[in-house]
Structure 1
Amino acid sequence: MVPMSVEEIAKAVDGRLVAGDGPAIEATETVTDSRQAGSGAVFVAIKGERVDGHGFVDKVADQGAAAAIVDHEVACTTMPQIVVEDTVAALGLLAKHNIDRRRQLPGAFDLIGLTGSVGKTTTKDLLSALLSTLGPTVAPIGSFNNEIGLPLTALRVNADTRFFVAEMGANHIGEIARLTRIAPPNTVIVLRVGVAHLGEFGSRERIAQAKSEIVQGLLPGGTAVLNADDDYVVPMAQFASGDVLWFGQGHTRDSEVHADHIAADAADHAEFTMTDAHGEQVAVHLGIPGRHNVMNALAAATVALRYGMPLTAIAQTLAAQHTISPHRMALSTVSRQGASFELIDDSFNANPDSMKAGLDGLRAWNANDGRQPFRVALLGAMLELGADERELHASVGEYAAGLGLDAIITVGSPSDAHLNVLAESLAEGATRGRAASVDCVQTIDEAERIVFDLAKNHTDTVVLLKGSHASGLSALAERWA
């Protein structure tokens, strides 16, 4: 963060300053985890479901923190406290102040906000890699895209930051609008409107309404980068106050960049020709797997071009990105208990769109070199899909069966009946689609046993892990790491 006095912070968050007996310390970072609150840190005490940060105020004082932001005064005499009504809201106010401070300092600074039902974190990772070649870039770790994660990332912006890439997610109407007030963007990306969080919003139209808030939150004259291939995204151009840049796989609009001749190698790394608005072309071979990442790469490339990065340099940087945030199409080889197989770990989260994309990646594995691996889909539940969740799960199971996969394993939970129902719906759909082999289990231990048995009997096995975080499949990925 831009260095600030405690008095400046108190004013920014509209708080009441309770001075401590210790020496005044300039604040240089903001944290919500007491273990990270070292010298010069502002500790924001947040009440969570299990832990109340106010219980750690004494600890952070002993660690040399500059101040604590609290919703009630805590018995602590050595460190200043800033008392506010709502510490999460105060975190947002402090983040907004930090961004405003950076914009007042010399040197160019641009904030790029991005949203979409699928692909946000991958696009954020690719865009961060591209922009980092142009100047110091701040981007969230993992999927920090909510009312706590985004402000914490915004508070990493300092006087030297050239770009801030802000991922913005939403479960409700108004959430993205609130995030754009904290971090008003110069440029925004809208990737796709899918059915993630359909249970919360009720319809894709309402999801589109929520995503459009990022375009409406642009600074005056800001740039909107929109998916020309998504009929729910295209109408968002009406909300842009400045330029609209399109990206896509077709030629339906005057795209800033578009992709042609899309193919993939044996490990499902996309290969395509990228063409810019001037007709310049370059061959691209993505370093991360997943043909669906073509659109994410085009979105990131559009922004990089906007900020002056040459097309050839974009292609080179995209090819060099082999790892992104954890549990997103991560490739590895698992060898244990007499079994060996290739793992595609896409277990961070799931919705019907991303689940199908992951399954497509599994089907495409080694498809171009004549090999026929034994393909296993290990699937967990998808959450927040609303009243049609069982049929949506069944349709994904049926889709998986239609790809001709060799085995489909669905995983529920030993303690959550809801997760079991959804896993059973996945399995029912796969059975309805006449899948070759279908198993439905309640624990990752049972799933692991089946996978190992299959791998022992098939020397060329590849396994996809895909499910919402609550399904626990990421824990299985970590066990196999």
Structure 2
Amino acid sequence: MIALTLTEIAAAVNGELHLHGTDSAETVVSGVVDTDSRTMEPGAVFVAKPGETTDGHLFVGTAVEAGAVLALVERVVDEPVTQIVVPDVVLAIADLAREVVARVRAAGDLKIVGITGSNGKTTTKNMLATILRPEGETVAPKGSYNNAVGAPLTMLRVTHETRYLVCEFGADAPGQIGRLAGLVSPDVGVVLMVGMAHAGGFGGLDGTVREKSELVRAVRPGGIAVLNADDHRVAGMAPIADERQLEVRWFGESERADVRSGSLEVTATGTHTTVTIEGRELPLHLRVLGGHHIKNALAAITAAGALSIAPETAIERLETMELAERWRMQVLTQSPIRIINDAYNASPDAVAAALRTLAQITGPDERMVAVLGAMSELGEHSVEEHQKIGLLAVRLRIPRIVVVGQEARALYLAAVAEGSWSDEAVFFESADEAFEYLKTELRPGDSVLVKSSNAAGLRFLGDRLGESFS
């Protein structure tokens, strides 16, 4: 965080300052801001966030021992540290982030990109950060820091030397993207796609469209909206951009796209395509596994272009990437058994894309094995969407479908009903049971995809398989 006095921080969060020791109202604080006491270091600010299973106020002492000099709290804690008391620490860090980013922007040339979409946010964020970092100090979220806590904490990492801030905006309730993007008013807003991810929390796809479009509404006047030309729901946000007097730049496979991809060649070592920009054709070999990531790459190239980065430069830097993020199409082993761990997030679109990738990269003498868990936050659509994935797995002729967990049982039943005979589709209650089965079932030449939502926990099953067959 940039240097601020205690008075300035208290004013930004509308909090009550309780000084300790030799601190005064003019004492300057400039350390990291975080909710995790384990990440504290000398000069840090600890945010005592209440949680579902524990309460950050219980760890203020631990944070102080690690070097925290200020605690943002909802009640005074009996610990030897200056504290600022606010009604809600989550809202307070958002207010603090707004103040910090505004000061940095006013004093320099900070450019801000916001990214949202039902799928691909984290991958696209990492791709864009890879392109931007050689240009200057770039702040981007750790992992999927895209919610009401993670997004402001990312914003608070900016300094007066920061040239680019890349924000990832997710939502699990209506209005969240508008609130988060409104904290920084991005110069560039990227909308990747609208799908069933989190649709249960928005009342269906129409609600999801409204939520994602809030990023376009939040882009600052004179800014640029980067939209997916192939997704009619995203393309339908162009009138909002026009109302806001934003420039629209398109990406995708459509002829209308400003940054367009051609045919794909998908292999176990990456995806080859040609990117057309302003009439020029540029080859792209993306080492990140999965043809569906080409669309994310197009979005990153388009956003980089909006920041005056040449497409040749963007492509050259993208080709250095080997992994989008841990647990996202992460190839743990290639031989004798290929293990792909993609079990951090799973919407219906993402699972379908991963299954198609499995089919594309598996050779004629190899066997496909899909280890599938639940897709979360689908609400009333959950059973139907799991059934669709079961049908797709069978139609892709995947000979071993391993389904884990009761929440995914509809997937297993649909696969059986579609004609997955005998032990082609199997069901296990737990990841441990599935692991014991797979230890003896897998054989050299198998290509194994592990895919589920984060809540299902199969990413750890994928790691265990990787260790066992490395």
Say which of 93, 96, 103 aligns to 1:94: 96
- Asked if 1:316 corresponds to 2:291, the answer is no
Question: Is the partner of 2:272 in helix, strand or coil?
Answer: strand
Match of 1:358 in 2: 354
Q: CA deviation at 1:268?
A: 6.0
Match of 1:415 in 2: none
Matches within 5 A, 1:38-57: 38-57=41-60
Distance across 2 between alignment mates of 1:217 and 1:86: 24
Distance across 2 between alignment mates of 1:182 and 1:406: 49
CA contact (8 A) 2:4 2:28 kept: no
Distance across 2 between alignment mates of 1:83 and 1:227: 43
- Asked if 1:461 corresponds to 2:462, the answer is no
- Cα offsets for 1:121-146 (capped at 9, x unmatched): 11111111011122211111111100
Matches within 5 A, 1:172-187: 172-187=173-188
Q: Which has the larger displacement, 422-431 or 171-180?
A: 422-431
Matches within 5 A, 1:69-468: 69-76=72-79, 78-106=80-108, 108-240=109-241, 241=244, 242-251=246-255, 253=256, 255-265=257-267, 267=268, 269-276=270-277, 278-333=278-333, 340-367=336-363, 371-412=364-405, 420=406, 422-435=407-420, 437-456=424-443, 459-468=444-453
Question: CA separation of 1:463/1:102 partners in 2, compared to 1, >3 Å: closer, same or farther?
Answer: same
Q: CA deviation at 1:366?
A: 3.9
Q: CA deviation at 1:180?
A: 1.2
Q: CA deviation at 1:262?
A: 1.9
Which residue identity is paired with 1:354?
A: A
- Asked if 1:63 corresponds to 2:66, the answer is yes
Q: CA deviation at 1:114?
A: 0.6
Q: CA deviation at 1:25?
A: 4.9
- Asked if 1:14 corresponds to 2:14, the answer is yes
What is the total number of aligned residue pairs between the two structures?
Answer: 458
- Cα offsets for 1:371-411 (capped at 9, x unmatched): 43111000001122122311221111010100011210100
Match of 1:417 in 2: none
State the TM-score, normalized to the length of structure 1.
0.92
- Which consecutive unaligned segments of at least 5 residues does structure 2 have? none
Distance across 1 between alignment mates of 2:149 and 2:35: 9
RMSD: 1.6
CA contact (8 A) 2:333 2:340 kept: no
Q: CA deviation at 1:473?
A: 0.5
- Cα offsets for 1:418-442 (capped at 9, x unmatched): xx1x322111111122235110111
Distance across 1 between alignment mates of 2:226 and 2:239: 13
Which residue identity is paired with 1:332?
A: L
Q: Which has the larger displacement, 445-454 or 356-365?
A: 445-454
CA contact (8 A) 1:350 1:468 kept: yes
Which residue identity is paired with 2:105?
A: R
Which residue identity is paired with 2:250?
A: W
- Cα offsets for 1:77-119 (capped at 9, x unmatched): x42111111111101111111101111223x211100100111
CA contact (8 A) 1:455 1:461 kept: yes
Question: Is the partner of 1:261 in helix, strand or coil?
Answer: coil
Distance across 2 between alignment mates of 1:102 and 1:17: 24
CA contact (8 A) 1:111 1:186 kept: yes
Aligned residues with identical type, % of pairs:
38
CA contact (8 A) 2:224 2:306 kept: no
Q: CA deviation at 1:470?
A: 2.0
Q: CA deviation at 1:334?
A: 7.7
CA contact (8 A) 2:340 2:462 kept: no
Q: Which has the larger displacement, 307-316 or 47-56?
A: 307-316
Distance across 2 between alignment mates of 1:355 and 1:57: 41
